Amino acid sequence: MKQVLIATNNKGKAKDFEALFNPLGVTVMTLNDLEETIDVEETGTTFEENAILKAEEVSKLLGVIVIADDSGLEVDALDGAPGVYSARYAGLEKNDDANIDKVLEGLTGVSDEERTARFRCVLAVAGPEMETVTFSGSCEGSILHDRRGTNGFGYDPIFYTPIKERAMAELSAIEKGEISHRGAALAQLKEHLPKLMESFGASR
């Protein structure tokens, strides 16, 4: 596999995939690299449903092997929100700062001990004439009271990871890949690549 299409327009996600795939000699393409505009409506109620929906729909449209992910933040004190609505928690315009503000407002007065949260990610791999497979990963942490760091994207500035003792946005791309939910899911994907390569070959 020399090239992989990631079903996303999110440049932040693309960087995460590039950091993990480029060392393997695999070129990462996203929906931003295509001439046509593809926007799959995420109607699933779980991360897995949305990942499969995106991977299969884009693969069907383009006739190629596609990796799609659905990921988000689950905050225990907010009953698991924002969950599958993480990207559009504060509105359909998908504004990272507005989403962060809404989470922080929802946690006003909540103690440090009760601010537990996790990032979750599900990857789906779909292609012509091959069975769709999924891989999942998570990263446990807690929600800070204020933003920290300038790296990453999404909720990274308010997500504290005890393993690194820093906010996710204070980590380098390599450090984030070592502990992130997407990194964990991609590690599973790489572990199964030999078997998947057989499917890739059969689907061509």
What are the residue boundaries of the structural domains of the chain, listed by start?
3-203
- Asked if 155 and 100 touch (Cβ cutoff 8 Å), the reply is yes
Half-sphere exposure in the Cβ direction for 202 (13 Å, CA):
10
Residue 134: both structure tokens together: 């999924």
* Residue-by-residue pLDDT tens, the chain, 204 positions: 577 889 988 887 788 778 777 887 778 889 888 877 887 888 889 999 999 999 999 999 988 889 999 999 999 999 999 999 999 999 988 899 999 999 999 999 999 999 999 999 999 999 888 899 999 999 999 999 999 999 989 999 999 999 999 999 999 988 988 898 988 998 888 888 767 766 655 544
Q: How far apart, in whole angstroms, are the C-alpha atoms of residue 9 and residue 1?
A: 21
- pTM, two decimals, is 0.82
Does 195 show up as a binding residue in the annotation? no
Q: What are phi and psi of 81, to 5 degrees?
A: -70, 155
Does 155 show up as a binding residue in the annotation? yes
Looking at 16, 70, 79, 112, which residue is catalytic? 70
Q: Match domain 3-203 to its CATH number in 3.90.950.10, 3.30.230.10, 3.20.20.70, 3.40.50.150.
A: 3.90.950.10
Q: Is 70 a catalytic residue?
A: yes
Using a 10 angstrom Cβ sphere, with 0-12 exposed, 13-18 middle and 19 or more buried, the burial of residue 198 is: exposed
